[in-house]
Every structure is written in structure tokens, then in C-alpha cells.
Amino acid sequence: MLPLLLRVKKQQEIAVIASGRCVTLRMALQKIWIPIHEPQHFSFEECLRFLGRSDRECLHYIQQGKVQRMLLSAGTPVVVEIGPAPKPEYLEVTVLAPVGGEVAEEPIKQFITHWLHLDASLQPFYDYTNTDPLLKGLAQEYHGLRLIGMPDLFEAITWPIIGQQINLAFAYTLRQRFITHFGYHAVVNNTDFYLYPHPAVIAALEPEVLAPMQFSRSKAKYLVETARQMASGYLSEAVLDEMSYEAALERLVSIKGIGNWSANYALMKYRRFPQSVLLEDVGLQNAIKNRLNLESKPSMTALKEYTRPWKEHAAYATFYLWRSLLPQ
């Protein structure tokens, strides 16, 4: 872990002695505006509802209608606060730390655009929901919700490994332990901020190190093995970014511990392949059961029938059905 502790105020005060007087200067915080594609189909409030679904979340925090998180900008850890801008076609990002020097804007714009899918076009999906009995009404109910992604490939592929075969609450507990123990940490405004662990950090571990955190033996082994595949270059963002959906799926499932569900989750959240559908996902199965008032979860055969027409709308259909499981 890097030995850096950031403690700042939103307005940093600097005492300057000049002409025998003590003058207090306030350093303005850097502001960045990020454009939203189809702002008429964007709801920051809906995105916040999804982002706030767990009290064990430690990569971002929601405060007073805004979200704060740490990210990397050209290799520099940066803490930002994201909220609505005066113009509805933008989000406003305030750099909370570090204070005093300009940070590179483009990596911040790219990260947040990917994370909140600000460049998405929802109109085709919304039009399609009117033709599918299973999806009808979802566009109106959760209008403006974007498919919250994961710009970090290692996070996107290890989060489903962590969550395999356990309930969501315990999965978040394990994820929180994983991040707080191995991730980069800084304190800003008396709040703990973290970056997701780097693959090289986890690749250097032996799986037994994760046992005291209640990771199963197989899950610990899969996490370390995945990290080593990334550290070796066999799996990387650069490699995956050049692949088709089929090739990327094949590459991911070739890694021990990554099955069809985990691979499609990563391809949906990181690569944003629109055809990604998680047929094995319990949440999707329960959402379909609820929507159709079925007595039990649908069979795999039935799931394939329900989802076959979705095609390029599969990822958003899955995400909106997940949203239907959360409280209003």
C-alpha cells in the first residue's frame, strides 16, 4: 500500500503573511463537466438508487444527492464528487483531492462516462420494451436508469467470483474485506476512500491468505489465479478490448473459476457488450418469476425462450429486471 494520506477540506485555507497582515486565501476546487448523451433519458436519481443498494459499499458513497469516489487520473489517485450540473445535459464533477494542482480531466471523463454509461443511447431499448410483454412498463418505471458499469476489468471479473453461490449481503461483506485489506487507501474529509485492489497485489499472494476473511478455498484460489492471468498479460484490458463478444467469452471461460455467468457479467459491466445475458443469474430468474407471476423460477429452457428475442437489448433488459427487485 502506498504511504499517502490525504486530508483536505472542500475549500483549502492558506495563511499568507503580507505587509504585516495575515491574509486567508481560498483555493477554488477544479470542476469538470461531462456531457450526457440523450439527457432526456438520464436520471441521476435512478442511478443513485442502484448505487446505494448496499450499506457495505466502500468504493463510493452517496451524500446529499451526490456520489463520491476515488479513481485514477493518469496514475494519480483522485477523489471526486459527482452531481447534477446547472445544465441538464451535463454532470458536474468536483475534484476534492488532491487540492492545489490541476489533474488530468480526460481520464476522469472517460472513467465516469463508462461507469454511468453516459454515452449510451436508450431510445432503441425503450422502444423495444413496448413490444416485449416481459419488459413492458420497465422503461417508464425506471426511466433514465443507465447500466452501471465497472471500468476496471479486474473488479468486473472478480466481483462475480466473490459472489458465486452465496447471498448478496455476504458477497458484499467479502468484497468489502477484499477491498479494504488489499486496495489503495486514502482519507479525505474524514472519509475512507479506496481503489479496487490491483491484480499484481493479489497475484503475489498465496490463496491461504484469504482464508481468515472467510473466502472458501476454491474462491481464494480462483481470485489469485485470475490476478495471475492478468499480471501475466494473458487477460488484460488491452487484449479484451480488441476481441469480439464470442472471442472474449471464450478467453474468459478458459480461466479456471470463470464460468458463463461470471464471464457474461464482466462482458456486460466492463466491455458493455449489449448481447450479454446472464441466464444462470438467480436475480434475473427471480425477476422474471415475479414479472410473470410464476409459482417457481423458470427452467433454463424457458429462460432461453424468454430472452432469445432480446439480442442487442439483452444487457439492458437484464439490468432493468435486476432493478425491479430493489425497493422503489
* φ, ψ (nearest 5 deg) of residue 145: -70, 125
Measured CA to CA, the distance from residue 159 to residue 171 in angstroms comes to 8
281 is catalytic: yes
Beta strands in the chain (DSSP E): 12-18, 21-27, 31-35, 60-63, 66-73, 76-84, 90-97, 185-188, 191-194
Q: Is 43 helix (H, G, I), strand (E, B) or coil?
A: coil
Contact 172, 57 (CB under 8 A): yes
Q: Residue for cell digits 448496499?
A: 54
Amino acid identity for residue 39 in this structure: P
User: What are the grid coordinates assigned to 145, written together?
Assistant: 436508469
Measured CA to CA, the distance from residue 16 to residue 37 in angstroms comes to 44
Q: How many CA atoms lie within 13 A of 66 on its CB side?
A: 15
Given the residues 152, 192, 241, 281, the one annotated as active site: 281
Contact 36, 42 (CB under 8 A): yes
Measured CA to CA, the distance from residue 225 to residue 117 in angstroms comes to 30
Distances (CA, A) of 148 to 29, 126, 214, 255: 27, 17, 28, 25
Number of H helices, E strands in the chain: 14, 9
Torsion of CA 96, 44, 125, 289, to 10 degrees: 110
- Residues marked active site are found at 281
